[in-house]
Amino acid sequence: MAEFQFQLDERTGIRLGRPPLGVRMLGPGDTRLRAEIRFRQDPHGGTFVIRTKDVADAALRVQVDVGRAGEIVLQTCLLPPREKPYDLALELARHRVKTFIQKSEDWLMFDPAFAPDAVDHFETARHTFTDALVASDLAAEGQLAADAIDLGLLATDELADAHAEILLHRRYARKTASHATLATTICPSTDPSVIGPTLRDFDVITIPFRWGDVEPVKGRFDFSRLDAWVQWARDAGKPVIAGPLVDFAPGSLPPWAEVYRHDYSTLRDPLYDYLDATVGRYINHVGIWKISAGMHLCRGGRRPLAEMVDATRTATLVVRRHKRSARSMIEVHDLFGDTRAKLSGSFGPFEFLERLSAEGLRFESVGARIAVGGTEPGTRSRDLMTISDTLDRFFGLEQSVLLSAVGAPCRPLGEGAGRWGEAWTPDRQAEWIDRMFAIAMSKPYVESFCWSAHTDGATPDPGGGVGFGIVEEDGTPRPGFERLVSWRRRIGRPLGPWRPPVHAGDGGTSEGVTELPEHLGGGATPGD
């Protein structure tokens, strides 16, 4: 067995939860490692004592309160096992410095003119980290490491912003965004006459379909709520994304079908009847069918891969039988790998997509849910660089990518939810939307951006419930709504050439227009 120890002195300002949250060990490529993790608390912090299988190197990931930058999930670099405890603050700072260097290389952003403020903050962070390495005592080392984390997070987020701005101008310099760029998820129980006016500036609407709502009594279908919204979308000329058609998460099955949750052979026939009735009713009114959403996480209990594949194939075939040209989408959740560590039998999102492709399933689009600020694993707060880096993993997929459920709350949601910078508020949610939309739509392989909850409670899934809405129940917009609409209008016309940012040392001017270099990296691989 390999043993690691990570010690944190919280007098530096870096703090852990009690108990620590989001703790896991990672191997190369951020793969999950099985580990026995104990936290020994002491008067000034505590020490993680971790035993795992024999490995050459491993990294620790944990949610930490880093002060100004927020309470977010961070990790260390890959480190060899040893008896002497590592200084957790120092190792978190080391990883942040490494991240800036690595992403500058991946994105070919070494020229300081591309992100002058980010480079300035990085240089200060790097020097501060170097000072921490040679500090004369542990107290000074810890404080310098904390400062390096704070500056490093500021630098990496600014680098992600700068990279996004450059690629947005590359993507939309001479053309406008498509007519299916901005979407939002409505709650079927809301009144279209109340919420409808706030949907005017959105290109597409997502309507959640749940078997339990449609067939509460076996053999008796109630489509009244869905009919109202599908009819509204048709009258308003709004394309519809509908689904998920197959969902085994808690609360998704009808009460009468719960007894068959783990008896798929019995559940299969009534599931087919529901699929046939639902798809047949709306086949001519739905643009994209969301076949499944987060099935790979096995949130309703362990389920063999063969059953996941069969349910997915069945739903896909039903859609194809009604309309051969219909588009289908598989939505994956927990791109950061938090939930999978908790649920037995689950698959990572990218592994699941590979498994479906290996089974010969054909789907035109991949949906990705990215939610932060929640209390559930997989929805914890993250910095912008981590999100941008994770989106780069979709580079090279054969299918188009839709960010099908993006969410952040407008208020703190409880213990363990964390925060991005300051506490979550409507204005903080709006700022996150402003920066996240730019990062998302700068990726050339991302086709559209869908907010996870137009109003609170659009979907009971983590990341789409109470607190995530951008419109009040009475139809009053929140600040985040205005930011999304503003972005849609901005990319509704060509952005023109990119101009280098004004730097504090430039006297407040920016001379001329700098042409974007053709070699600038735009995805996971430079020069995409």
What pLDDT shows up at residue 524? 41
- Rounded to whole angstroms, the Cα distance separating 155 from 26 reads 24
Residue 526 domain flag: no
DSSP 8-state class, residue 208: E
Question: Per mean pLDDT, which of 54-68, 247-261, 275-289 is the most reliable?
Answer: 275-289
What pLDDT shows up at residue 442? 96
Give residue 16's domain range. 2-170
What token pair was written down for 7?
A: 């010690």
pLDDT digits over 266-276, tens only? 999 999 999 99
DSSP secondary structure string, 5-74?
Answer: EEEEEGGGS-EE-SS--S-EEE-GGG-EE-EEEEEEEETTEEEEEEEESS-S-BEEEEEEE-GGGEEEEE
What pLDDT shows up at residue 377? 85
pLDDT digits over 241-257, tens only? 999 999 999 889 999 99
Same-domain status, 411 and 484:
yes
- Rounded to whole angstroms, the Cα distance separating 415 from 412 reads 9
pLDDT digits over 295-311, tens only? 999 888 888 999 999 99
Same-domain status, 284 and 419:
yes
324-328, 345-349, 365-369, 418-422, range with the lowest pLDDT: 345-349
Model pTM score: 0.92
Same-domain status, 135 and 250:
no
- Rounded to whole angstroms, the Cα distance separating 203 from 199 reads 8
In this prediction, residue 344 has a pLDDT band, given cuts at 50, 70 and 90, of low
CA angle 283, 284, 286 (to 5 degrees): 70
Give the mean pLDDT of 463-471: 81
CATH of the domain at 409: 3.20.20.80
Same-domain status, 148 and 258:
no
HSE on the CB side for 104, CA within 13 Å?
Answer: 20
Same-domain status, 188 and 143:
no
pLDDT > 90 fraction of the chain, expressed in percent and rounded: 80
Give the mean pLDDT of 329-336: 94
In this prediction, residue 387 has a pLDDT band, given cuts at 50, 70 and 90, of very high
Domain boundary among 119, 138, 170: 170
Residue 336 domain flag: yes
End-to-end CA distance of the chain: 42
Residue 506 domain flag: no
DSSP 8-state class, residue 325: T
Same-domain status, 99 and 233:
no
Which residue in 182, 319, 188 sits closest to 238, CA to CA? 182
pLDDT digits over 35-47, tens only? 999 999 999 999 9
In this prediction, residue 505 has a pLDDT band, given cuts at 50, 70 and 90, of low
Residue 125 predicted with pLDDT over 50: yes
In this prediction, residue 31 has a pLDDT band, given cuts at 50, 70 and 90, of confident
- Rounded to whole angstroms, the Cα distance separating 516 from 166 reads 8
Residue 340 predicted with pLDDT over 80: no
Residue 513 domain flag: no
What pLDDT shows up at residue 139? 86
Q: Which phi and psi angles does 222 have, rounded to 5°? A: -125, 100
Same-domain status, 128 and 194:
no
Residue 514 predicted with pLDDT over 60: no
Same-domain status, 113 and 71:
yes
Residue 70 domain flag: yes
Same-domain status, 21 and 137:
yes
Residue 497 predicted with pLDDT over 50: yes
Give the mean pLDDT of 104-108: 95
Q: Which phi and psi angles does 341 have, rounded to 5°? A: -65, -20
Same-domain status, 432 and 307:
yes
Residue 505 domain flag: no
Structural domain count, the chain? 2
DSSP secondary structure string, 327-383?
Answer: EEEEEE--TTSTTTTTSTT---HHHHHHHHHHTT---SEEEEEEE-S-SSTT-S---
Residue 178 domain flag: no
Same-domain status, 322 and 450:
yes
182-186, 198-202, 415-419, range with the lowest pLDDT: 415-419
- Residue showing tokens 């972005």: 487
Residue 14 domain flag: yes
In this prediction, residue 528 has a pLDDT band, given cuts at 50, 70 and 90, of very low
What pLDDT shows up at residue 65? 96
Better-scored residue on pLDDT, 500 or 470: 470
- Residue 165 makes CB contacts below 8 A (sequence gap 6+) with 438, 442, 498, 501
What pLDDT shows up at residue 338? 84
What pLDDT shows up at residue 241? 98
Residue 101 predicted with pLDDT over 80: yes
Better-scored residue on pLDDT, 278 or 467: 278
In this prediction, residue 346 has a pLDDT band, given cuts at 50, 70 and 90, of confident
Report the mean per-residue pLDDT for the chain. Answer: 91
Same-domain status, 311 and 425:
yes
